[in-house]
Amino acid sequence: MAVTGSSFLLFLIVGFLHLSIPTGALHTVGSLPLDTVTFYKVIPELKYVLVKIDTQYPYGEKQDEFKKLAENSASSKDLLVAEVGISDYGEKENSELGVKYKVEKDDYPVYLLFINGDLENPDRYTGEIKQETIQQWLKTKGVWVGMLGCLEEYDFLAREFSSTRGQEERQKIMVIVKKMIEQLPESDQKLAEQYYKIMSKVLVQGDSFVSSEIARIGKLLEESKMSSAKKTDFQKRQNILSSFQVPSVPKEDL
């Protein structure tokens, strides 16, 4: 019987862990290394695969951000984070994948999101290499990954709110949110209230409030004089705001 979906992924990972990894090979917790063989076996089986194409032995700040992203991906039941290391010497391992997806060495690292097993048309990330920024981008593609300040159930309601255009329907969603807040533990209530306040602002100012507020907070976060606690509060709000950005339509639905 064929092994598919999550069961296939589990089978593959267990098999990988039983292989002997060459001395000096790097492995990132939360990420699955792929090569020119496993790449074509894994991606067609899963809903979302975020692949980082990079040098074979990456290091530095951008790699640190990838490590945080990969580890945090455990919060998502739909997303697999993977990495392809390309060697520029010897047999030039995995270089054909770089050629296929038009990835140049000067571009490293490149992030490609494969949706519903589509190997030919991945979405290429072009923003800043920061964990939070990449996760915000993933949200716009319909991928939920736990972010600082965000609550999964409220992220779903935020997306539903933004996808609904009628004022009456949006108000109904706000009633549900309000009732749910009262049942939350105190530690989560303040975060949930942010969702409600944003919904209220959108009703008055329109959908453009979300994008303009994200941009405003982005500029504030660039200020070096801001305390770390204040930056954390702004980052939480920006993450919650990103939940209101309507995700792209999956390719299989086009």
Tens digit of pLDDT for each residue in 192-244? Answer: 999 999 999 999 999 999 999 999 998 888 876 788 888 889 989 999 999 99
Task: Report the pLDDT value the prediction gives residue 148, as an integer from 0 to 100.
Answer: 87
pLDDT score of 120 more than 90: yes
pLDDT score of 23 more than 50: no
pLDDT score of 247 more than 80: no
Task: Report the pLDDT value the prediction gives residue 21, as an integer from 0 to 100.
Answer: 41
Task: Report the pLDDT value the prediction gives residue 225, as an integer from 0 to 100.
Answer: 79
Segment 70-103, tens digit of pLDDT: 998 988 889 999 999 999 887 789 999 999 999 9
Mean pLDDT taken over the chain: 86
pLDDT score of 152 more than 50: yes
In order of start, what are the domains of the chain with their CATH numbers? Answer: 5-140 (3.40.30.10), 152-253 (1.20.1150.12)
Lowest-confidence region among 18-22, 186-190, 237-241: 18-22
- Backbone phi and psi for residue 161, each to the nearest 5 degrees, phi listed first: -60, -45
What is the value of pTM for the model shown?
A: 0.75
Tokens representing 165? 């255009």
pLDDT score of 19 more than 50: no
Task: Report the pLDDT value the prediction gives residue 146, as an integer from 0 to 100.
Answer: 86
pLDDT score of 1 more than 90: no
Nearest partner of 240 among 206, 186, 202, 203, judged by Cα: 202
Burial degree of 111 (CB within 10 A; 0-12, 13-18, 19+): buried
Give the other-Cβ count within 10 Å of 188's Cβ.
14
